[in-house]
A and B are shown apart, each in its own frame.
Chain A
């Protein structure tokens, strides 16, 4: 079985400050990892993904994430946030084999609020 834990439900931060949104996962098989962003009353937009290769992945809007297999983590970072980054962020995993091959498993989300 797979599960995703986003350790912080809310992260307030001032504009131009760095931010880290934490994500840990549990899985009995190898997984692919994703971060999605959701603005109010909208669907999910893909920020970045780790499928294979380099463990440091870069995404849109200046975000990056590092896959740490030993710690089963995939934390999202941005060195300097803007007010427009205020949104809900979801970490998701997808097993690369098994009976539930298709579905994504999501965490409960982290609300990032950027203050001026």
Chain B
């Protein structure tokens, strides 16, 4: 178990450029999450996948953002036509939900180190 990994760790880009981030979850985790964290704030949910299916997207995820998880393993998050307001830490997390004795689905999300994006 090597943990969640993200690449790159840092990215500096100019406004208007496209950027793509990659996340490799803990092996055999079927859920993968993307969050965004701006300075002085807690992480905010963007989207998540169960296997290759994208199950939920936040309204924070504008049309310029797209996420994929084509084979149910790693995921990519692309931002097109970046804006200065996109500058943030992008966090990936993975989990493997399982039912408890009462049937409730219990889940713990494990986070990667994040990708820090700076848009100039």
Contact = CB atoms under 8 A, between A and B. Distances in A.
Interface of A: 4, 32, 34, 36, 41-46, 49, 51-52, 90, 92, 94, 96, 100-109
Give the bracket for the number of chain B residues in contact with chain A: 20 to 34
Contacts of A41: 116
Interface in B29-45: 31, 33, 35, 40-45
A78 to B, nearest CB: 20
Contacts of B55: 102
Contact of A36 (B6, B102, B111): B111
A51 B100 contact: yes
Contacts, number: 67
Contacts of A108: 40-42
Nearest to A103: B45
B42 A96 contact: no
A101 B112 CA distance: 21
B101 to A, nearest CB: 9
B109 A104 contact: yes
Interface of B: 4, 6, 31, 33, 35, 40-45, 48, 50, 55-56, 58, 91, 93, 100, 102, 104-114, 116
B106 A32 contact: yes
Contact of A103 (B6, B33, B40): B33
B45 A104 contact: yes
A105 B106 CA distance: 16
A49 B109 CA distance: 11
A6 B114 CA distance: 23
A52 B43 CA distance: 24
B43 A104 contact: yes
Contacts of B6: 43
B30 to A, nearest CB: 12
A42 B113 contact: yes
A101 B106 CA distance: 11
Nearest to A99: B56
Contact of B42 (A32, A100, A109): A109
Contacts of B42: 4, 90, 92, 106-109
24 contacts: A32-B106, A42-B114, A43-B111, A44-B91, A46-B108, A46-B110, A49-B108, A51-B100, A52-B100, A52-B106, A96-B105, A100-B56, A101-B105, A102-B31, A102-B48, A102-B50, A102-B55, A102-B107, A104-B35, A104-B45, A104-B109, A106-B43, A108-B41, A109-B41
